[in-house]
Amino acid sequence: MKRLILLLLVTLSSILVLAACGDNEADADSDENYYSGENIETVIPYDAGGGSDVLGRYVAPFLSDHIAGNPSVQVTNIPGAGSVIGMNEYFGLRDADGYSLIWSSGSTITNHLLGTEGVNYEFSELTPILGVPAGGVVFISADIGYEEPADILNVDPADLVYSGQSATGLDLVPLMSFDVLGLDVQALLGYEGSGPARVAFEQGESSLNYQTTAAYLSSVEPLVENGEAIPLYSFGHFDSDGNIIRDPAFPDLPNLKEFYEEVYGKEPSGEIWDAFEVVASRGFTIQKVLWTKNETPEEAIRLLQEGAENLAADPSFVEDGEDVLGGYEPVVGQELVDLIASIIQPELDPDIEAWIFDYLAENFGE
């Protein structure tokens, strides 16, 4: 019996010692901070498997590695109503504690821009952590006699048919670009996604189409090489002063402004051009943004932004994610804050807003 008690005592004490050692070890780790041992939830207001979801899931482990304290980073999908449901839920129900972040994307911005019913979120109440650019290229069928920019005014207008998804999504940008160029294009909308819209182009159901950078590189470039499609222009990117520049993924392709100049020999101007700049810059320059709420504790915001900067400096982030990032480098830090402040957060000029509404009502019967 005595022996048994002794054995128990020895076991117990050794467990205690071991436990104490464990504690000491943790104490010795002086990097304890806001995020040590915590969870971060990143809300994706889209279905699993879509572009935003893939990006969010790709970024999550890198965030966990690069934010001090190595919090675990989880992804939550709250899809519905073109990201409005997820954005509203984040805005209304999540605490501003830095443990819950949200990804926005193109339709988050267009829905807000167009004042879609049910929108309960404001970009001015959010602080950006990480931004990923996107771009788009408009291309034309080689069958309708187009060779150089000036030809675009001479092709038979009956041949100009555009295939896309919906006038209130990102298709708004190419559709407005046709009006900037003064082209009379029939818009064939309602395809199930950008993939089917491209197949319609390949079938000859349409002669004009646009694809975002990653899809263009993988699916349209082969068509261009076969001589079936000809790229026209990219939508361009915008710097933090609001000037249009070439899309960094397509340094050899003119942006819409340059294309216009080649066709007409002068700069584009007027209400339609102003409206295009507003919609294109918000839809494409910084398309997907990871946000936290403004009221998040300062320490948390600092750690998140530092984490994002470390992530952007990690060469394997860009290398491994070529397809996910669409060939662009992430934007972080002050550069991101400036771009967001000049592009996404400012109040929209009421004249331009009214103009876009009239434009949609007139052309697409909304």
Partner 1 sequence: MIEVAMEALRVVLDPSRILYIFLGVAIGAFIGVIPGLGGTVGMAIVLPFVFGMDPFTGMALLIGMIAVIHTADTFPSVLLGIPGSAGSQATIVDGYPLAKKGEAARALGASFTASLLGGLIGGIALFLAIQIARPLILSFGSPELLMLSLLGLSMVGVLTGKNPKLGIGAGLFGLLLGSVGAAPSVTEYRYSFDILYLQSGIPLPILALGLFAFPVMVDLVAEKQGSIAKEAKIGSGIFKGVKETFQHKFLVFRSAVLGAIIGFVPGLGGSVVDWISYGLAKQTEKNTENFGKGDIRGVIAPESSNNAKEGGGLIPTLLFGIPGSGTTAMLLGGLTLMGVQAGPRMLDQDLDLTMSIIWTLILANIIGAIACIFLAKYISKVALVQAEILVPILLVILTIGAYQSTRHWGDIILFFAIGIIGWFMSRLGWSRAAVLIGFVLATPIERYLWISISRYGSGWLTNPGVIIIGILITLIVIGSIVMARREKAKGGPTIG
- Give the binding site for partner 1 (CB under 8 A): 47-50, 53-54, 57-58, 61, 75, 77-81, 84-85, 88, 117-118, 161, 166-168, 186, 188-193, 195-196, 199-200, 202-203, 205-206, 214-215, 217-219, 222, 320, 322-324, 364-366
Are the beta carbons of 115 and 327 closer than 8 angstroms?
A: no
CA angle, corner 101, sides to 100 and 105, nearest 5? 150
205 Cβ partners below 8 Å, 6+ apart? Answer: 161, 163, 188
Q: Cβ closer to partner 1: 200 or 339? A: 200
CB of 114 to partner 1, least distance (A): 9
Strands 39-44 and 100-104: parallel
Q: Write down the least CB distance from residue 333 to partner 1, Å.
A: 26
Between 14 and 218, CB nearer to partner 1: 218
CA–CA distance, 49 with 55 (Å, rounded to integer): 10
The residue (of 47 and 299) whose beta carbon lies closer to partner 1 is 47
CB of 18 to partner 1, least distance (A): 33
By C-beta, is 157 or 190 nearer to partner 1? 190
Residue type, 9: L
How far apart are CB 148 and partner 1 at their closest, in Å?
27
Q: Rounded to an integer, what distance in angstroms lies between the CA atom of residue 344 and that of residue 350?
A: 15
Give the per-residue SS3 of 42-61: EEECCCCCCHHHHHHHHHHH
Least distance from partner 1 to the Cβ atom of residue 315, Å? 16
Helices then strands, each counted (H, E), the chain: 15, 12
C-beta of 180: minimal distance to partner 1 in Å? 22
Q: Are 332 and 134 in contact (CB under 8 A)?
A: no
Task: Report whether 269 contacts 314 (CB < 8 A).
Answer: no
CB nearer to partner 1: give 188 or 352: 188
Nearer to partner 1, 265 or 365 (CB): 365
Distance between terminal CA atoms of the chain? Answer: 88
